[in-house]
Structure 1
Amino acid sequence: MNTRTLLRPALTLASLFAVSAAALAAGADLGQAEKQATNWTAITMFALFVVATLFITKWAAAKTKSAADFYTAGGGITGFQNGLAIAGDYMSAASFLGISAAVMASGFDGLIYSIGFLVGWPVITFLMAERLRNLGKFTFADVAAFRFEQKPIRIFAASGTLVVVAFYLIAQMVGAGQLIKLLFGLEYYIAVIIVGALMMVYVLFGGMTATTWVQIIKACLLLGGASFMAFMVLWHFGFSPEAMFAKSVEIKAGLASAAGKTSEEAAAAGQSIMGPGNFVKDPISAISFGMALMFGTAGLPHILMRFFTVPSAKEARKSVMWATGWIGYFYLLTFIIGFGAITFVLTNPDFLDAKGGLLGGNNMAAVHLANAVGGNVFLGFISAVAFATILAVVAGLTLSGASAVSHDIYGTVIKKGKANSADELRVSRMTTIALGIIAVVLGIAFEKQNIAFMVSLAFAIAASANFPVLFMSVLWKDCTTKGAVIGGFLGLISSVALTVVSPSVWEATLGNPKGSALFPYTSPALFSMTIGFVGIWLFSILDNSARAKKDRAGFVAQQVRSETGIGASGASGH
């Protein structure tokens, strides 16, 4: 049965999901109509986006004939297109909804997300992009395992990929569920199931080609929408950021005063949003959190995978340059949107519940601001864009998880590199379905979690496990298989374990008494990343086996290939 035949029922199923969503939205929660009216504009724009992307998937399915097409779009994406797609992949629900919410809640301190997410890109530009393109084929494990024993390093790389993908997926699914629940009055679990089903259709049939074009379209829509929001906020203040900040300070002071604070305390609360200390309370947490966001970028499997979609190392470098520009511009906008939410949303009773909290929670700050500055039509547009943002990122994540299982575990470990393209493709599609189901289940289970925090956790794990192994295997000649695998697993296990016993999970999520957390800091990266690097270094220098000598001897050939690209010929990067 060919792909096109398989695609027809799937497209029909997805179309039914889209129609069902609109129908459910129209009739859902009728008993609470006075609380939340159905937003027909948003429903129409959602439906248009879904139909448009399904046509892209149908077009991409005709082009997806081999594993190289499925994983890397056949290496035929240009640097500019890939830069936009990377930006689309990176500007996730946590970036758009989470950072603006953090700035609204914490003011200046919320910028640690913007700065942390952005400053990881020079690491990728100068250290990783060309080397990745020259050494890799489909996944970052191809790079890490270039001169090492394949089986252990592939098992580690697949483990690291799947753990990072799982935490990242939870955040996106929760964001999607909250957004659709707020706008359409749908039950949360129905919203999550719809997102999961659509994502599976995009990845199953369109592969990397469909995912890339969905990400490019979504990046353009998001940049346009965020630009308009920021423009409208600044226009209200005569394009004076100083006036916007002054108004924000005044509003925060007024809210503190209304909460029963003395005039001195209220004034201090207002001024506090212009300085540090509201979000990250101590220097160790600040350094650790910043390290997670900065170095985690260079360990995210779905971002690293994008460098194999371009035809050459030069295009890989160009794509990072474009991506950095778009992402940097976008994060400037989230800063304005966050302060705009303070001035337009926090004082508007239409956006607040009976207790004075934001309808839908703080994550919905940007969505409410869209309504405030652009009315119902712009609210519909931004809602559709936020949905597109989540869908595109989820598709990219699922693709990287599926490739880790099919290419690294099945193709290399189980079949010892002898799997044919059709078999790998079949395993990849089975994995996509499994990951889609897991994402839906986890999305429902973690409904109450903060999405920006869940993503920062994924970054901490990527910085502690994937990044040290990638960095040391490519740049340190004495790194060995044993060092990379043991050090990598130490970083992976320690980052997950320290996160579980930190206050944000041990106390806030698991409900243990305040002060009972075994690890006192917000993010584990400073400690777990150090454990990962030290583990790789220690076990590599202690390794005197025959395999270690072979690993070290292979460094020169790896260096020549990574610096020159000799041997990395062909459009698919083989």
Structure 2
Amino acid sequence: MTTPTAAPPATPQVGSPVLNISIFALFVVITLIIVYRVSRGPRTANDYYAAGRSFSGPQNGIAISGDYLSAASFLGIAGAIAVNGYDGFLYSIGFLVAWLTALLLVAELLRNTGRFTMGDVLAFRMRQRPVRAAAAISTLVVSLFYLLAQMAGAGGLIALLLGVNDNPDSYFDGQSLVLVIVGAIMIGYVFFGGMKGTTWVQIIKATLLVIGTAVITVWVLGVYGFNLSALFEAANAGATDDLVNAGNQYGTSTTTKINFISLAIALVLGTAGLPHILMRFYTVPNAKEARRSVQWAIWIIGIFYLFTLVVGYGAPALVPGGTTAIENAPGEENSAAPLLAYELGGTLLLGIIAAVAFATILAVVAGLTITASASFAHDVYANIIKKGEVDSRGEVRVARITVIVIGTLAIIGGILALGQNVAFLVALAFAVAASANLPTLLYTLFWKRFNTMGSLFSIYGGLISCVGLILISPVTMGREDAIFPLQNPGIISIPLSFILGIVGTYVGSREVVSEQRFAEMEVRSMTGAGAAGAAED
């Protein structure tokens, strides 16, 4: 006799599902109208990939912060702080400091040297086909890792706000259905709006996110008389661990301490290798505006991450049941910020914050998707398959088809990643970006002897080692069965990629390296001379 499988327990419902969905639907309708209006006009590759280079530094800076402040920043980091305290705040510090690397090493140089993608920079003085293929593969892998985090955040948020069950006996349930809807909306943004429509969605989303988080921050501080010490004491009272002192997550053993160092390296170096951030530098008309973009982004992102400290500690302080209730809620750690909003402002504030969180996810996945599609269409299709003999409209058509494919993969991957902390998943994407992309970019820009073989060794070596270590780490195999003990492989894969770049350069030493092309790249990257010509369609 077969015992019937017990139905999963009903997910507790927070707030009003009708209100939550209504506010989110209003945001989607407004942004879709904006995307439609701004996307009318020329359909060249320059318009679709780089928005005609028509955005100012401040506009692009806000859009960059919209691209960067993802579900990991709003949901994941707040949850990590709520559960692990100081150790969770390390994510905020790492994500912010990373922008100094991007500002000092790549922002202006990349804008002066490239056209649409990272592959343009590498191909400037290397053999086109192999380095463009490597750059495209790296871009697609990093984008998919990042997409998993955003879609996982969407699933957890839906579970909390709509009382949708996650059925352990099936990969396709209520949360999965919602992920399909979110993915379809995202595909619509990118398919019709291109970079211009996506940028305006990110500007609107960044503005709403900072304002919404500021409201919660001021509200929480007001509850405790704007006294941080009182807030920390209340948070500790509602927590199962000491949230003020370090060590909850990364101080329990030698392995966790090494894992912290690995995480820090990945976060600080990863931003300068993230393809969807690098691509944003091409939407401004010149290098000066690229610098202004980063300066604006640093200010906005820095202020936001200070807000996450208050939001993170405010959740265990004010949510009934503290960290225990947060960890047991649908979405687990990722539910800390929405639960806090509900405790402060009830159904209305929760509905607004939920809409902001949805907007965050939609805007970031749109940015990632257009980056991945541009890399495939521009680097692989136009320059490898067609060898540059394709018109701009044909290239854009392939980019749109790629959007649909990548969006579908993101939905499938998001369903498989449900329940993971989104900040943690994004940290893995940073490790892959820092391992595969950053060493190659730096060598290309600054080392005269660097050649095609060196770039291939660096990209593929960094990519394979990073992803390979993730596959045999506790992330995928569990703590008991893991072969590689660290959750983040950056401490191994990033230095290895730098070393492999050197090894590959000397292995391919017979390759003729054009000193003239390097000199041209050096002048262009440092002064911007000739960059306008490279930007023309």
Counterpart of 1:77 in structure 2 is: 55
The whole-number CA distance in structure 2 between the counterparts of 1:153 and 1:397 is 21
The answer to whether structure 1 residue 276 and structure 2 residue 246 are counterparts is yes
CA shift in 2, pair 1:559/1:34, >3 Å? closer
Query: What is the Cα deviation at residue 124 of structure 1?
Result: 1.2
Which of 517, 528, 534 is the matching residue for 1:565? Answer: 528
The answer to whether structure 1 residue 528 and structure 2 residue 493 are counterparts is yes
The whole-number CA distance in structure 2 between the counterparts of 1:571 and 1:306 is 16
The whole-number CA distance in structure 1 between the counterparts of 2:222 and 2:107 is 39
Query: What is the Cα deviation at residue 283 of structure 1?
Result: 3.3
The whole-number CA distance in structure 1 between the counterparts of 2:160 and 2:348 is 16
- State the aligned residue count: 517
Counterpart of 2:167 in structure 1 is: none
Any residues of structure 2 matched to 1:401-480 within 5 Å, and which?
A: 401-480=372-451
**Is contact 1:121-1:298 (8 Å) kept?**
yes
Query: What is the Cα deviation at residue 37 of structure 1?
Result: 6.2
The whole-number CA distance in structure 1 between the counterparts of 2:12 and 2:419 is 24
CA shift in 2, pair 1:33/1:107, >3 Å? closer
The whole-number CA distance in structure 2 between the counterparts of 1:231 and 1:48 is 26
The SS at the match of 1:280 is: coil
The SS at the match of 2:302 is: helix
Q: Which amino acid aligns with 1:492?
A: L
**Is contact 2:451-2:505 (8 Å) kept?**
yes
CA shift in 2, pair 1:340/1:37, >3 Å? closer
* Stretch deviating more after TM superposition (521-530 or 91-100): 521-530
Determine what percentage of the aligned residue pairs are the same residue: 46
Query: What is the Cα deviation at residue 250 of structure 1?
Result: 2.5
Query: What is the Cα deviation at residue 40 of structure 1?
Result: 2.6
CA shift in 2, pair 1:35/1:523, >3 Å? closer
Which of 235, 239, 242 is the matching residue for 2:226? Answer: 239
The whole-number CA distance in structure 2 between the counterparts of 1:334 and 1:505 is 28
**Is contact 2:156-2:419 (8 Å) kept?**
no
The whole-number CA distance in structure 1 between the counterparts of 2:534 and 2:207 is 26
The whole-number CA distance in structure 1 between the counterparts of 2:190 and 2:507 is 43
The whole-number CA distance in structure 2 between the counterparts of 1:100 and 1:34 is 21
Which of 345, 353, 356 is the matching residue for 1:385? Answer: 356
Query: What is the Cα deviation at residue 39 of structure 1?
Result: 2.6
Q: Which amino acid aligns with 1:150?
A: Q
**Structure 1, unpaired ranges of 5+:** 1-28, 257-268, 509-513
**Is contact 1:298-1:467 (8 Å) kept?**
yes
Q: Which amino acid aligns with 1:188?
A: Q
The whole-number CA distance in structure 1 between the counterparts of 2:232 and 2:12 is 34
TM-score when scaled to structure 1?
0.87
The SS at the match of 1:80 is: helix
Query: What is the Cα deviation at residue 185 of structure 1?
Result: 3.4
Counterpart of 2:318 in structure 1 is: 344
**Is contact 1:181-1:191 (8 Å) kept?**
no
Which of 196, 202, 212 is the matching residue for 2:183? Answer: 196
TM-score when scaled to structure 2?
0.93
The whole-number CA distance in structure 2 between the counterparts of 1:340 and 1:383 is 17
The whole-number CA distance in structure 2 between the counterparts of 1:32 and 1:128 is 49
Query: What is the Cα deviation at residue 246 of structure 1?
Result: 1.5
**Is contact 1:106-1:278 (8 Å) kept?**
yes
Q: After superposition, what is the alpha-carbon deviation per residue over 1:254-299, rounded to whole angstroms, capped at 9, x for unaligned? A: xx4xxxxxxxxxxxx43xx222211223432121110111111011
The SS at the match of 2:50 is: helix
Counterpart of 1:298 in structure 2 is: 272
Quote the RMSD (CA, aligned, Å). Answer: 2.0
The whole-number CA distance in structure 1 between the counterparts of 2:158 and 2:491 is 36
**Is contact 2:159-2:330 (8 Å) kept?**
no
Query: What is the Cα deviation at residue 543 of structure 1?
Result: 2.5
**Is contact 1:94-1:172 (8 Å) kept?**
yes
The whole-number CA distance in structure 1 between the counterparts of 2:325 and 2:107 is 45
**Is contact 1:309-1:572 (8 Å) kept?**
no
Which of 493, 505, 520 is the matching residue for 2:476? Answer: 505
The whole-number CA distance in structure 2 between the counterparts of 1:457 and 1:305 is 20
**Structure 2, unpaired ranges of 5+:** 1-6, 165-173
The whole-number CA distance in structure 1 between the counterparts of 2:233 and 2:463 is 44
**Is contact 1:91-1:327 (8 Å) kept?**
yes
CA shift in 2, pair 1:128/1:54, >3 Å? same
Any residues of structure 2 matched to 1:245-256 within 5 Å, and which?
A: 245-252=232-239, 256=240
